[in-house]
Amino acid sequence: MRALKVLLALILSILLIVNVVVGLVCYDLKQTVLQPGFYQKVLDENAFYATILNTLSVMVDKQLAEVTEKYRERIKAGLEQGLNEAWLKEQISSAITGLIKYLNEETPVLSMPISLTEVKEPVIKAMTEGLSPREAIQAEAMVKKLNEMVPDQLDAAKLSDNVDLTRTMKTVAMVRKIPGISLGLSIFIVLLLWFLGGFRLAALRWPGSSLLLAGALGVAIAVLGSDTSTAMLTSVAMPDVPAELIPAGIPALLESMFREVTKGLMVNAGVVALVGVIMIMVAFLFGSGKESSVSGSS
């Protein structure tokens, strides 16, 4: 009977370790990559908006190469007012929030609105101010064409109608549910292990040791993850994109995001390990140190 209890306790301990590690990882993902604020924080810390603005500036210069110098300078002046960091930050935040809400099933329709009014208005104003009547007619035609080409608001979600997020949503739903299930299952296994030890304080060393190992494993995963190379992260996140086509700043951004995720995992795993240490200390200090934690009463 005692051998059977030891075997059962060993199996339950292994299940507890696996369950806790999976729960920790999913909880960390839920608190980071499934929260809009996570992306906003990482983007702010990596000066990503400035990089995007510089890229847009180069693209605009190429597009305006065929426009007459007079209007080219006016358009660029207007864009400098509209295409600013505050506007870009607001639009990216709005798009990310829309996507995360959809993936979290908080809204039935995917919507990633981007307002272009703040960009168009200063451009139109710069194009039409201080012109002669003849120039005003020409500028009016250009403004009309601009309004036809550029809407006041753009839904980024409609630019990728062929992208199917069904599988992603199923994965997200599973990640959101696992932490709660893992917590309940962990408590149940701990109680089972304690029951096998006759509910003695000494029996807490078994679940305590399992939690300590689970926490240590979680910390190890976080440490190893934080040492992952930027090149490897980029290849995993963007497997089909040639290295030379990946925009500048993206690899560093991915690295920063991954470091932020592993940081949270390390903290939570450390807490679990600490709980395990406390349970072990209670078992040795207040339990019957001479008795086996899984032996039943004769």
Pick from 109-123, 150-164, 230-244, 248-262 the range whose average pLDDT is largest. 109-123
Least confident range of 105-109, 206-210, 270-274, 293-297: 293-297
Out of 25-34, 171-180, 282-291, pick the least confident: 282-291
In sequence order, which ranges of 32-131 are alpha helices (DSSP H)? 36-45, 48-63, 69-82, 85-103, 117-128
Residue 60 predicted with pLDDT over 50: yes
Q: Which residues contact 105 (CB under 8 A, 6 or more apart)?
A: 169, 173
Give the Cα separation of 72 and 179 in Å (integer): 55
Whether the predicted model's global pTM rises above the 0.85 cut: no
94 neighbors 43 (Cβ within 8 angstroms): no
Q: How confident is the model at residue 292 (pLDDT cuts 50, 70, 90)?
A: very low
The pLDDT assigned to 187 comes to 95
Q: Is 213 helix (H, G, I), strand (E, B) or coil?
A: helix
DSSP-derived letter for residue 295 is P
Of these ranges, 52-56, 205-209, 285-289, the one predicted with the greatest mean pLDDT is 205-209
How far apart CA 33 and CA 223 sit, in angstroms, is 19
Q: What is the pLDDT of residue 188?
A: 96
Share of the chain above pLDDT 90, in %: 26
In the chain, which ranges are E strands? 113-115, 153-155
Average the pLDDT over 142-169 and give the result: 78
Mean pLDDT (the chain) is: 82
Ranking 117-126, 132-141, 263-272, 276-285 by mean pLDDT, the lowest is 132-141
In the prediction, which pLDDT does 294 show? 47
Q: Where are the domains of the chain?
A: 2-33+178-286, 36-103+117-150
* Pair of tokens at residue 7: 């075997």
Q: Is the pLDDT of residue 17 over 90?
A: yes
Answer yes or no: are the C-beta atoms of 22 and 222 closer than 8 Å: no
- The number of CA neighbours under 13 Å toward the Cβ of 291 is 21
Length of the chain equals 298
**pLDDT higher at 277 or 169:** 277
How confident is the model at residue 242, as a pLDDT? 59
SS3 292: coil
pLDDT over 50 at 194, yes or no: yes
Do residues 283 and 200 lie in contact, with contact meaning Cβ atoms separated by under 8 Å?
no
Q: How far is CA 177 from CA 17, 34, 52, 99, in A?
A: 18, 13, 35, 19
